[in-house]
Amino acid sequence: MVALLALPVSPTAESGAGPADAVSGLVVLYCVIRLLRERRRPLSRTAAAVLGLPVAALAVAAVGASSPVAGLTGMGRYLQVFVVVPAAVLLLVRDRRDFRLLAWALVALAGWQGAIGVHQYATGTGASYQGADIRAVGTFGPADVMGMATIVSFGLVCALGLALGRASARQRAVAAGCALALLLPLALSFSRGAWIATAVTCSVQLVLAGLRRALVVGAVVAAVGVILVGGFGVGSAQLQERISSITRVTDAPDQSVTDRYTMWAAAVGMWREQPLMGVGLKGFPEQRDAHASLALSAGSDTEGAGAAFRRQPLLSPHNMYLLVLAEQGLVGLLALAGSWLALLVCGLRGLVRARGSGRGLDCALVGCGLLVWQLTDFAYADIGGPSTVLTAVCFGVVAWWALVGSGAVPVRAGAGSVTARAGAADEAEEAGTR
C-alpha cells in the first residue's frame, strides 16, 4: 500500500482514489479474514470507542446528503481514512519492531518522492509556479501539489522521531541524515501549509525529546538552511517570496489565499444554516456558489509536470475542520475531533512513560509527531487526492502507539495481549542492540 504511492499518477487523472486505495481495501479484507481465523476480539473497548466515535455522526451526515450516491461515497471515504484503514493498521502492527519498519518505509517513500521533486526543480520539469515549471510535486502531478509535500513531511517527522530515540548511534545518525536531506524537497514543494505544519511538529518533537537536543538540532537545521539558500542559492528568490507571503496573508493576500478565505467564509455560512447536522456529505461543492462572495475565482490554474494547462475547480474549503463543520455540523466535528483528541491524550501519556522507562521513545515521538502534523495541517488542507490513503495509514500508526504500543490499552490475542507481546519483543530487540 505504501509502495504503490511511489508509482506515477496519470497527468490526466482526476484527483481521487487510486491503486493504493484499492489495495487498502484488500488490506482491510485480509485483516478481517485473519481475525475470523484466529477467533479473537478485534479491538479493545477503548480502541473501538475511540476509532468508532465518528461513525454515528457520519451516518447522520450521509442521510442528509443531497443524494444516496453522494452520501454513500462520502461516508465510505471518511470511514476509510479515519476508521477502517487505521483499525486495520492497528491490528496488523504486532510490536514496536513492526512500527519502526513502517516508519522507515515512510521515510523511504519520502526519499523517493523527494528525489523526484528535486530533479523536477533542477531540470524545470515540475509543476508550474510563477510562470516556471519548478515546483516539486513528485509523481503526483500538478493536480495534487500537496501530495509530495505531505509524504515528504511524514517522512521527515518519522526520521526526526527515529533520530531522537534511544536506538543505536548508527540508526540515529542515518535517521538524522534522512531528516536533513528531506528538508530540500520540502522547501522546493513551495507548500506553505506543509512548511508550517512541519515546523510546528518538529519543534514539538524536539521539546518533548529534551531541551538540549532541541537546541543542538535547531542549530544544525539553521546551518543547513543557510548553506542551501545562502551558499548555493537553492531557490532563494522564490523561497524568500513564498516565506514572506506567509506574513502577508492578511495585509496583501495573493489570489490563492483570497480563494481560501472566501471558501472558509462559505463553509461557515453553510454551518450557520444547519448548525447541528450540516448540509450533508459532499454538500460543500453544491452549495459553495450560494454562500461564496464574488472574490472567489473560477478555479485554480494547473500545468506542468507532464500535464497540459487545466483549470481545476475549487471543491473544498482547504480546511478539514471547516469542511466537517459545513457538511456534518457540530455533531460531526465534535465526533471526529473527539476521536483525534483521545488519540493525542493517550499518545502523550505513553510518551511520558517512554521517557521515564527509556523504551519506545522513538515510537512515541513518531506517533505523536504524525498526529500533531496532521492536526496542524488540517487547518490548511483536507482529505482528497491519491495521497489520502497515506493519511489513513498514519492515523493507524498513531492509533497503534496511542492504544497499544504505549501500554495504555491491552488487546487480548491468544494466550497474551498484543501489548504484552509487543513489550516482550521490544525488550529482546533492545537487549540485542545493546
CB atoms within 10 A of CB 353: 16
Asked if residue 232 lies in contact with residue 407, where contact means CB atoms within 8 angstroms, the answer is no
pLDDT at 419 over 50: no
The three-state secondary structure class of 34 is helix
Asked if residue 398 lies in contact with residue 371, where contact means CB atoms within 8 angstroms, the answer is yes
CA angle 68, 70, 75 (to 5 degrees): 95
Write out pLDDT tens, residues 385-416: 888 999 999 999 999 999 998 774 333 344 34
Mean pLDDT of 376-387: 90
Asked if residue 302 lies in contact with residue 271, where contact means CB atoms within 8 angstroms, the answer is no
pLDDT at 52 over 70: yes
Task: Report which of residues 217 and 378 the model is more confident about.
Answer: 378
Half-sphere exposure for 60 (CA within 13 Å, toward CB): 19
Kindly indicate the confidence band of residue 433, based on its pLDDT and cuts at 50, 70 and 90. Answer: very low
Write out pLDDT tens, residues 69-81: 999 999 999 999 9
pLDDT at 199: 93
pLDDT at 16: 59
User: CA 59 → CA 84, 267, 274, 336, 397, distances in Å?
Assistant: 15, 20, 16, 13, 25
Write down the pTM of the prediction. 0.89
The three-state secondary structure class of 310 is strand
The three-state secondary structure class of 434 is coil
Kindly indicate the confidence band of residue 221, based on its pLDDT and cuts at 50, 70 and 90. Answer: confident
Cα gap 112→148, rounded to integer Å: 10
Report residue 79 as a C-alpha cell: 470511514
Q: Which of 7-16, 180-189, 300-309, 396-405 has the lowest mean pLDDT?
A: 7-16
pLDDT at 314: 82
Q: Which of 101-105, 124-128, 372-376, 410-414 has the lowest mean pLDDT?
A: 410-414
Cα gap 317→264, rounded to integer Å: 6
DSSP character string of 139-169: TS-GGGHHHHHHHHHHHHHHHHHHHTSSS-H
Task: Report which of residues 93 and 359 the model is more confident about.
Answer: 93
Q: Backbone phi, then psi, for 403, in 5-degree steps?
A: -110, -15
pLDDT at 209 over 90: no
pLDDT at 325 over 90: yes
CA angle 182, 151, 50 (to 5 degrees): 130
User: CA 391 → CA 125, 310, 317, 413, distances in Å?
Assistant: 27, 26, 18, 27
Average pLDDT, the chain: 84
pLDDT at 244 over 70: no
User: CA 199 → CA 5, 113, 153, 204, distances in Å?
Assistant: 24, 20, 10, 9
pLDDT at 84: 96
pLDDT at 88 over 80: yes
Write out pLDDT tens, residues 422-432: 454 455 455 44
User: CA 98 → CA 30, 103, 104, 178, 383, distances in Å?
Assistant: 17, 9, 10, 20, 26
Cα gap 187→192, rounded to integer Å: 9
pLDDT at 105 over 70: yes
Helix axes 320-357, 255-273, angle to 10 degrees: 100
Mean pLDDT of 346-363: 89
105-109, 250-254, 314-318: which is most confident: 105-109
Asked if residue 221 lies in contact with residue 183, where contact means CB atoms within 8 angstroms, the answer is yes
pLDDT at 410: 36
